[in-house]
Amino acid sequence: MNPSFGAVKTLDLFLNDFGASLAPMMPYFPERLPTSKADTATPRVAARLDGDHGFLFLNNHERTYHLPEHSNFQVKLDIPSGPLDVPRHPVTMPSDAYTIWPVNLDLGGVKLRYATAQLLCKLDDPRTYAFFAWPGIPAEFAVKDETDMLIEARTGQVTREGGTAYVQLEPGSNGVVRIRGRNNTWINILVLTREQAMNVWKAPLAGRERLILSRAQLYFDASVAHVATSDPSKLKAAIFPALNHVPSGFAGAGMDGIFTLYAANVEPVSGQAEVQPIRPAGKVPEIKISREVALVPGETAFDAAASCGFASRQQFRRRRRVFFCRSPIRGMLQDCMRMEGWSRIISTTGHHGRSGLITFLSQRGISCS
């Protein structure tokens, strides 16, 4: 799976659970803004707020350009409830970092003053808020310290100061803190690494929404999760909360932090695809550029594209419906290929002119152009 898909998925999960709260928030900008695109010394920061709660958007990334890290980085907010420093001690903003920090977020009766980790998604049973930390930025959670509040951190460190409890957590599948807030209600805060966040999914399984952590490719059909990979060693899935039974075709493989690990023991299957040229390539249309990025070509651009058909051998087709095809096509593809046939593409990994894997479901032959 192309890493960019995992990065986009972290935003999809966030917007799915918190987009309704984010949408009506008003944008705010710092007093000092970058003077131009060439100004890389000024941090690029914006906020979306509704009263005193909202989100900070931090960006130190620009495609194809290297931006310097920012040391002694700290955001000072002037909000209705009073000034707030995020974080309480300055940190270093690494080059290429881009992240979203929550401010005065209500976590089921627990007030999170801020977090230096990005909110990912939430579960209702058990009430869990999943975050992920950007590499190089310590994950700190500042929580309003209430009477009778109890904080249990597996791998974290808790300090209290001026009515605020500060929790430093080490990201990972065991990076969990449990907090008992108002009305004796417990919540979980889970902090994953960025790599884990790019490989985590949220889906309904066995009647409950769960987090599924896997380096394999996942796709879902109603309440059924399909796990596919070209590398049998990656045919594993860590699930939280645990299932009541071991999934068919898998075996229990212990625990990975709070996740229950399931693994399949399968033999790799390989086969040959029969490729048949259909049409040679014609004249290549001009590639249109906008803001230094190639634009997606229109439908007519495929009229002159080379076309070929390929199908799996019959004995291979009978054994499995998921195919991982390593494309022999090389050249400046500009990430532009389309498939036709009774198929569903799961993902493509070829880019920048390199051959890659095309994963799809198939009942008959496939043609591509």
Per-residue model confidence as pLDDT tens digits over 43-64: 999 999 999 999 999 999 988 7
* 80 within 8 A of 51, measured Cβ to Cβ: yes
The domain locations on the chain are: 3-198, 201-263, 273-368
Give every CB contact of residue 62 below 8 A, 6+ residues apart in sequence: none
Q: Which residue has the tokens 């890493």?
A: 3
* 312 within 8 A of 325, measured Cβ to Cβ: no
Instruction: Provide the 10 A C-beta neighbour count for residue 245.
Output: 8
Separation CA 198–CA 132 (nearest Å): 9
Please give the pLDDT value at position 221.
82
Separation CA 113–CA 144 (nearest Å): 6
Burial class (CB in 10 A: 0-12, 13-18, 19+), 84: middle
Q: Which residue has the tokens 């059909």?
A: 221
* 274 within 8 A of 307, measured Cβ to Cβ: no
Please give the pLDDT value at position 287.
82
Residues in the chain with pLDDT < 50? 315-320, 329-335, 342-347, 350-369
Please give the pLDDT value at position 340.
53
Please give the pLDDT value at position 195.
96
* 86 within 8 A of 93, measured Cβ to Cβ: no
Contacts 24+ apart (CB under 8 A), 335-341: 336/296, 336/297, 336/301, 337/368, 337/369, 338/302, 338/368, 338/369, 339/366, 339/367, 339/368, 340/366, 340/367, 340/368, 340/369, 341/365, 341/366, 341/367
Sign of the CA dihedral with 8 first, then 10, 15, and 16 last: positive
In the CATH scheme, what is the code of domain 3-198? 2.102.20.10
